[in-house]
């Protein structure tokens, strides 16, 4: 179905794109393929009398994502795979080291917002896993509902050896959808709306750039000016959602 990289070097595959574009489906398909490839390589090595230790696969997801299941990665189409919940990049790294996984998969990687003086901590963790020759495959949303890069995803994409970018279908017009539309009580949310209004129903749907609506609630500016960085805004949202 697709090439599996050389086991002697690190490799980072990033699956990205809009909501409902099949990112998790693709991640699960890759994990299944890696399992098959490792089993075949181990068999082939036995035939040739070569020592090959099949790499074990660690599957993770960010602790924020409990939409479908607590301990599984689940795609919209119903595919499922067992996963370990981690709530920080360091927790992810420590678990990989403890279990000596050679292949690491992680869903919803955009939620790893922690930063230190060098930038996003998840970048350091991924770079370290690559130095340790891990095959790493992550999936995550590339843009937030404002159409801005989602947390660490821009940096993760820059670090990648291989990128798969998926789109969904705009629910308004059927065009390829690249942005998540945030709705509060069925109406487009403003750029600066708080994450959840008491009593309000919040939802998201995939839209194309033409149908995607974002505005600043105190004015009619199309391109809002927010003195906070987008990272701070999203981090505040994640913190609010955490409570």
Residue ranges at the known binding site for substrate:
196-199, 204
CB 177 within 8 A of CB 207: yes
> Please, what is the minimum distance in Å from the beta carbon of residue 188 to Zn ion?
13
Q: Tell me which residue of 121, 125, 88, 114 sits closest to 12, measured CA to CA.
A: 125
Site for Zn ion in 104-163 (CB under 5 A): none
**How many angstroms separate the CA atoms of 243 and 231, rounded?**
19
Cβ neighbours, 10 Å, residue 160: 19
Give the CB-side neighbour count of residue 134, counting CA atoms within 13 A: 29
* Closer residue to Zn ion, CB minimum distance, 83 or 211: 211
Q: Which helix H or strand E contains 116, and what residues bound it?
A: strand 115-116
Place of tokens 């801005």: 148
- Binding-site residue set: 196-199, 204
Q: Tell me which residue of 113, 116, 107 sits closest to 136, measured CA to CA.
A: 107
**How many angstroms separate the CA atoms of 169 and 9, rounded?**
36
Q: Which of 92, 104, 211, 234 binds Zn ion (CB under 5 A)?
A: 211
**How many angstroms separate the CA atoms of 184 and 202, rounded?**
4
> Please, what is the minimum distance in Å from the beta carbon of residue 177 to Zn ion?
7
Stretch that binds Zn ion, among 81-89, 193-201, 210-218, 220-228 (CB under 5 A): 210-218
**How many angstroms separate the CA atoms of 58 and 16, rounded?**
20
> Please, what is the minimum distance in Å from the beta carbon of residue 234 to Zn ion?
24
* Closer residue to Zn ion, CB minimum distance, 92 or 211: 211
Stretch that binds Zn ion, among 71-79, 93-101, 132-140, 166-174 (CB under 5 A): 166-174
Site for Zn ion in 8-67 (CB under 5 A): none
* Closer residue to Zn ion, CB minimum distance, 124 or 172: 172
**How many angstroms separate the CA atoms of 37 and 44, rounded?**
10
**How many angstroms separate the CA atoms of 102 and 242, rounded?**
31
Query: Which listed residue (25, 26, 38, 108) is catalytic?
Result: 108
**How many angstroms separate the CA atoms of 113 and 120, rounded?**
7
* Closer residue to Zn ion, CB minimum distance, 55 or 207: 207
One symbol per residue from 170 to 209: x for binding Zn ion (CB under 5 A), - otherwise; what is it?
x-xx-x--------------------------------x-
> Please, what is the minimum distance in Å from the beta carbon of residue 167 to Zn ion?
12
> Please, what is the minimum distance in Å from the beta carbon of residue 67 to Zn ion?
24
Residue 108: active-site member:
yes
Site for Zn ion in 85-104 (CB under 5 A): none
* Closer residue to Zn ion, CB minimum distance, 17 or 58: 17
Which amino acids are annotated catalytic? Answer: 108
List contacts with Zn ion (CB under 5 A): 170, 172-173, 175, 208, 211
């Amino acid at each position: 179905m697709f090439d599996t990289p050389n086991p002697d070097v690190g490799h980072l595959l990033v699956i990205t794109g809009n909501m409902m574009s099949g990112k998790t489906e693709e991640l699960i398909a890759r994990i299944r393929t890696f399992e098959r490839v490792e089993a075949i390589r181990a068999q082939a090595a036995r035939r040739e009398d070569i020592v090959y230790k099949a790499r074990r696969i660690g599957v993770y997801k960010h602790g924020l994502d409990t939409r479908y299941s607590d301990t599984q990665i689940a795609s919209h189409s119903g595919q499922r795979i067992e996963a370990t919940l981690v709530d920080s990049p360091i927790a992810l790294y420590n678990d990989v080291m403890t279990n000596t996984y050679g292949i690491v998969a992680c869903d919803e990687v955009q939620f790893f917002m922690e930063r230190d003086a060098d930038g996003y901590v998840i970048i350091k963790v991924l770079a370290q896993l690559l130095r340790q020759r891990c095959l790493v495959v992550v999936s995550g949303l590339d843009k937030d509902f404002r159409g801005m890069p989602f947390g660490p995803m821009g940096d993760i994409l820059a670090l990648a050896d291989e990128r798969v970018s998926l789109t969904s279908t705009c629910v308004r017009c059927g065009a390829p959808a690249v942005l998540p539309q945030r709705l509060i009580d069925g109406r487009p949310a403003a750029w600066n709306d708080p994450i959840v209004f008491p009593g309000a129903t919040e939802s998201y749907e995939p839209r194309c750039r033409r149908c995607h609506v974002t505005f600043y609630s105190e004015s009619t500016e199309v391109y809002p000016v927010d003195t906070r960085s987008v990272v701070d805004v999203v981090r505040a949202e994640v913190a609010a959602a955490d409570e």
